Amino acid sequence: MPASSSKTTIDHDEIRQWAESRGGRPATVKSTEKDGEPGILRIDFPGYSGEGSLEEISWEDFFAKFEEANLALVYQEETADGEPSNFSKLVRRPDDMGGKKAKQGKSKSRKAA
């Protein structure tokens, strides 16, 4: 069986396409919202553990917070069995991906084994 691999990206279109192709929606952890602003970000997949604790937000609000918090998305296209994977994790943006200076139009994607 081939080993599954993850990718890391800051590209908004790539993130949105990956999430939506799996039924994922942008969300925030309800208990971390402050003054109407999103708190901790998540991608919510229907039927998973986020029910009740997550609140859907717009992609615009998601990416505004994503940039403000200097994040990147680590995600997996397929499981080791070749099935579509919903694995994702929001992490601090690696320095080689542009840090705070990255803009939506500047895509950097890399594979990590």
**Tens digit of pLDDT for each residue in 54-72?**
999 999 999 999 999 999 9
Express as a percent the part of the chain with pLDDT over 90. Answer: 56
Task: Say if residue 100's pLDDT is above 80.
Answer: no
105 — pLDDT class (breaks 50, 70, 90): very low
Mean pLDDT of 81-91: 93
**The most confident of 4-13, 32-41, 104-113, by mean pLDDT:** 4-13
Q: Are 20 and 56 in contact (CB under 8 A)?
A: no
Instruction: Please provide the average confidence, as pLDDT, over all residues in the chain.
Output: 83
For residue 35, how many other CB atoms are within 10 A of its CB?
A: 4
Q: Which residue has the tokens 């080993």?
A: 3
* Segments making up each domain of the chain, as ranges: 6-94
Phi, psi of 21 (to 5 degrees): -70, -15
55 membership: H or E segment, kind and range = strand 54-56
